[in-house]
Amino acid sequence: MEYANHLNEYAPAQSEAQVAEEVARMKEAARSNENAEVYKFCYSAIDLTTLSCTDSVASVTEFARKAAEFNERFPHIPNVASICIYPSFVETVGLAVDGTPMRITSVAGGFPASQTFLEVKALEVAMAIENGADEVDIVLNVGRMLTGEYDEAANEVEVIRAETDPEVVLKVIIESGALKTPELIRKASLLSMFAGADFVKTSTGKIDVAATPEAAVVMCHAIRDYYEKTGRKVGFKAAGGVRTPQDAVLYYTIVREILGEEWCTTDLFRIGASSAANNLLSAIEGHEVKYF
């Protein structure tokens, strides 16, 4: 399908200076959100992530077990939204969290570079879902975005979307740190939504520049503009470098200020994180917590 022409229906991105001014306002507004209730919500929005070359069945099983048993130790804190792992560990996590409401997220589709055959990407996504993934995070083809092959980049997402059941949540990572400019970040976000993304996500966490508040501002404006034209709500996920409670609250504030209170649910806001989980728990409990 031709998607690039639809970009002309949307206003251009803000300038870098305008984005910087908005980020400064968001940082100021975030101070009033640094409290236990917001910390709890941010914790509940985490896709608890382990994406390491050292992951094993044993380590992932223990990781998932701790998440599954979280409410036994912390019954007053809502649990994380999901566990995020490589496709080969989807079944492992499924066994560890069986009988709980824990959702399973898998990166797939040639993560993190998206540099393989489209058939391989689609097959990997299908296999992750067959093994039990409720949600799948794929990477938009950044190389195609950088060379202006917008239809080709979006069509890859469309093909993968067609391989997933409608109830499977598809998150598309635009790798904003590689796109760099507000205009490319906006285009990548819109193209992902045109092609069927349920979420747009900042980063893989595997390159030098991961999530930034600047990218989040641009992406959330694209989500808002898309919603105003189509009536379809698309979620936002910040991932890569989100470590402190203050980081999490800043992204929460950006979402709330630009998209509104109705986006402040785990159906429409996620944080991809590992160390942020313990840091948010420490902020909630008022002392250092090393649960994970």
Please identify which of the residues 40, 121, 134, 137 carries the catalytic annotation. Answer: 137
Q: Report which residue type is found at 157.
A: V
What is the rounded distance in angstroms from the CA atom of residue 247 to the CA atom of residue 244? 5
Is 233 one of the annotated active-site residues of the chain? no
Please identify which of the residues 121, 187, 237, 247 carries the catalytic annotation. Answer: 237
What is the rounded distance in angstroms from the CA atom of residue 39 to the CA atom of residue 18? 28
Is 229 one of the annotated active-site residues of the chain? no
Q: Is the dihedral of CA 130, 136, 65, 210 positive or negative?
A: positive
Integer CA distances (angstroms), 159 to 113, 122, 152, 163, 234, in order: 18, 7, 11, 7, 19
Q: Are 99 and 88 in contact (CB under 8 A)?
A: no
DSSP letter for 14, please.
Answer: P
Is 121 one of the annotated active-site residues of the chain? no
The residues that are catalytic are 137, 201, 237
